Structure 1
Amino acid sequence: MAELFLRRLTRWQAEKQRESLADLYVEAYVGVAGEEFRDRQDFLRRFEGHVQQPDFEFAVAAAEELVGCAYGFRVSRSGEWWRGVDQALSSHLEELTASGQVFALAEVMVLPSCRRRHVATRLVDHLLARSDAARTIALVDPGNAPARAAFRSWSWTGLGVSGVASDAPAPEVWSRLPTH
């Protein structure tokens, strides 16, 4: 792989890149053949909502072309993220959320040909370098073993399940305390 460059994009720049990001998503998460259009549309719908969130942050990794991205935002102060999480833990997280101190890592994606080269690690570190949040969280599908292994290798902690999902298995909440 050629030299890798990391850079932040503004909300406006990220929105302008939405089609390229959707292409990256389809390539990064090769799913069931024939479902690419629906997967792409689902990503675009989620991205449209995410990019409007408070304190949206976005980073890309590129060599000769876009190879990955990571983005996130401050968690809504409503506390809905913590339904289904252990009561003692959720009250602490709700308190941090109410004071605007929780950042959600909403997406990390890297092309399969660039995995196992620390691209995701570098992207997440780059994205979170300026964060002043008291805690960073990510929701992970419990069946996504590679994502769970990545979060473990990054010294994140599994906190339990969240009640955010409705018809799918409840995602696991992973957390990282600030490193600064």
Structure 2
Amino acid sequence: MTARSGQGQPYKPRGGEPSDADVDAVRLRQVNRWQAQGVSGGLADLYVDSRETSPREAYRRPSRRHFLNRLTADIRRPGFAMVIAETDHLVGCAFGFPVRSDGYWWLGFDGALPHSIKQLTESGGVFAITDILVRPHPQDQDVARRLQERLLTDHQASLGTTLVDRADRPTLTALRSWGWLDVGEIWRPISAMLLRVLVLPVGERTAARLEGLAPDAWTRWPG
């Protein structure tokens, strides 16, 4: 299915139509906030296509409006960034924003926050990925990994973080298979939801800092 832009025009990759030889090759590119707004309709189609649920879960079918409202709010955040994956149409995207060094992102964390995560936050090395979307594709796992890695490395982040509804088992399973680590739960009063907190270390050095944490390596925020 061809994704559509917010203006009702067919989505087209930059540089025109690809040749038959590379139509299946997935390419990544970073887009700015204005470009993201320009393809918001196509992104909403991608959201619905990538999060289809079974008929038994019709009450949880994805809402385009909910996604567009959330995307608009994220686009307005300082440091917003997005990477899209495309062939002759939109295949996937990942977007988010830098986590503030004051630790606001972690407010409501249940229990103690790992001290290493607190240090990475204070140094400005944490980036929140609010969505990774991939339309069903033979290389969907590889596309998802490439998207998250590109978004984090482009911003020289040491750690990615994301929040997931704890009842959303498919998303949690997918993220864990892509290397994300489950570190606890966080309460968001605005949405009245208890969410799972996952982090993704970038590079062996950061991964080593998160391994085998002793009980005294965990601290409450603020410390």
TM-score higher than 0.5 here? yes
- Deviation track 1:39-88 (CA, whole Å, cap 9, x = no partner) reads 11111111111011122111111111101111111124453432133224
Shifted more, 52-61 versus 94-103: the winner is 94-103
Judge conservation of contact 2:126–2:160 (CA < 8 Å) in 1. yes
- 1:162 matched residue in structure 2: 186
- 1:120 matched residue in structure 2: 144
Query: Matched residue pairs, number?
Result: 178
Instruction: Give the TM-score normalised by structure 1.
Output: 0.83
SS of 1:159's partner is strand
Unaligned ranges ≥5, structure 2: 1-22, 205-223
Larger Rg: 2
Equivalent-residue separation in structure 2 for 1:39 and 1:27 (angstroms): 11
Amino acid of the residue matched to residue 161 of structure 1? Answer: E
Report the CA distance shift for 1:88/1:3 in structure 2 as closer, same or farther (over 3 A): closer
- 2:84 matched residue in structure 1: 60
- 1:3 matched residue in structure 2: 25
Report the CA distance shift for 1:160/1:35 in structure 2 as closer, same or farther (over 3 A): closer
- 1:86 matched residue in structure 2: 111
- Deviation track 1:70-114 (CA, whole Å, cap 9, x = no partner) reads 11111244534321332243x654554344332101100111345
Report the CA distance shift for 1:35/1:8 in structure 2 as closer, same or farther (over 3 A): same
Unaligned ranges ≥5, structure 1: none
Equivalent-residue separation in structure 2 for 1:48 and 1:116 (angstroms): 25
SS of 2:124's partner is coil
Instruction: State the shift of 1:165 in Å.
Output: 5.4
Equivalent-residue separation in structure 2 for 1:178 and 1:46 (angstroms): 26
Amino acid of the residue matched to residue 37 of structure 2? Answer: E
